[in-house]
Amino acid sequence: MSTQQSMPRIGWIGTGVMGLSMCGHLMAAGCPATVFTRTKAKAEPLLTKGAAWAESPRAVAEASDVVFSIVGFPPDVRQVYFGPEGVLAGLGRNAVAVDMTTTSPTLAVEIYNAAKAAGAQALDAPVSGGDVGARNATLSIMVGGEAAAFERVKPLFERMGRIILHQGGAGAGQHTKMCNQIVIAGTMIGVCESLLYAVRAGLDPQAMLGAISKGAAGCWSLDNLAPRVLKGDFAPGFMIDHFVKDMGIALEEAGRMGLRLPGLELVRGLYAEAQKAGLGRNGTQALYLALQKLA
């Protein structure tokens, strides 16, 4: 592996809310970086720190030992990896491609098989922890793929996250992330409805949170998103549009397994109403605004 200061050459595709911080941590650790994103201006903070710019995902792969991607939707992932200018066209033998987008487990397996056929490796490694976790390098990273490839990339994961677990073969990381999103879906209804209830009952919502967040109801969403709601902060740590996409993937995969998830179906419907209300690019905590209209 080509190295500089014992660190691999990394490629990074997607410099949005999450990717910008995550790539920044690897660069701070000494990894030479080559980046690509659809809007070059979004990569400017990394370019200023010394990252090289590439004109395509293929060019990123050609310059890298390990290529990371974190983009928006499954069609974006497919466009990044496949085709004459995709990652797979430029991935060298023994290189590793790591897709950290939350996407379809079926697509993750397809990418893995294509990489392996080219003599390379692929991991699916979606994350949980939102913008806060990305900035603070405290993400939970759920990884699918071959164990040897995981061990090779693990030191890089450790620069971005606090909990890094190999979940199994290709697609297992994405399946684990679906479990994560199913839990969060139900939790977010509880968080938002509890705040609406507190307001209607004449409670001090902040004092209420101080009480319930220390008991059995305690969770990440109460600690991190409920305070944002009380401040009127609905900026995205994780966008509603992306969350609806994730719930759709989970329901589609559940359907393949002959499993019905009625609770998740309900939550997706409520978030779809939030999208119709123009809240799709807000954070998931903006469900509060949609539910407020129904109250």
Residues serving a catalytic function are 177
- Residue type present at position 289: L
Cβ proximity of 61 and 121 under 8 Å: no
Cβ proximity of 205 and 230 under 8 Å: yes
Cβ proximity of 76 and 99 under 8 Å: no
Contacts 24+ apart (CB under 8 A), 143-147: 143/167, 143/172, 143/173, 144/105, 144/108, 144/168, 144/169, 144/170, 144/171, 144/172, 144/173, 144/174, 144/175, 144/176, 145/112, 145/121, 145/169, 145/170, 145/172, 145/173, 146/121, 146/170
Q: H-type helices in 201-261, by residue range?
A: 205-212, 220-224, 226-230, 240-256
Could you give the CA distance from residue 139 to residue 223 in angstroms, rounded to a whole number? 16
- Residue type present at position 58: R
